[in-house]
Amino acid sequence: MNEIKIECVLQAFEDLEHLSKDIKGLMNQAIEAREKAYAPYSDFKVGAALLLDNGEVITGSNQENASYPSGLCAERTAIYYAGAKFPESKVLKMAITAASNKVKTIVPIPPCGACRQAIAEYEVKQKQAIEIYFMGESGKVIKSNSLENLLPLVFNKSLL
């Protein structure tokens, strides 16, 4: 038996003010998108902003539904729209933020497993890492240099 150790290296920034100007701008666009979330059931609003290699910024927010599983997370709303509108473009960076109306989210909120799987598809498709930044409503911002870093042992087309 061999033990396999998998390492995940992240960078932590004290808050929004410690980010570079362009990432702070992208995160502010995610915050703006978050305010537009439709989350009457969870009261948990999430916003995502994607910077594409053509300079476009695509934003998305979670969209809930009375039939709960029919709703969609912010990250997938944004990345599917980017894929639909600019199929030839690469996603360079992604900023994510979440805020609850019930409790103050000061810990960084990472993308859920389903969103990681969806983002992984585009990272494989474009053969280039996507930088991911995530935070709560305020407080620390975590950076991952790629999606793969957040989803070890990813299932992708190379396994089909």
From residue 107, alpha-carbon distances to 72, 89, 100, 103 in Å are: 22, 32, 12, 11
3-state SS assignment for residue 2: coil
CA 109, 120, 129 angle in degrees (round to 5)? 90
Rg (CA), the chain: 16
Residues that bind ligand THU (CB under 6 A): 39, 42, 44, 46, 62, 64, 71, 73-75, 111-112, 115
26 near 78, Cβ under 8 Å? no
At 35, give phi and psi (nearest 5°).
-60, -25
- Catalytic residue, from 64, 75, 131, 148: name it: 75
- Our answer to whether residue 75 is catalytic in this structure is yes
Element (H, E) at 27: helix 21-35
Please report how close the Cβ of residue 138 comes to ligand THU at its closest, in angstroms: 18
Please report how close the Cβ of residue 88 comes to ligand THU at its closest, in angstroms: 26
> Which CB atom, from 46 or from 132, has the smaller least distance to ligand THU?
46
Please report how close the Cβ of residue 61 comes to ligand THU at its closest, in angstroms: 7
> Which CB atom, from 53 or from 103, has the smaller least distance to ligand THU?
103
> Which CB atom, from 18 or from 103, has the smaller least distance to ligand THU?
103
Where in the sequence numbering do the catalytic residues fall?
Answer: 75
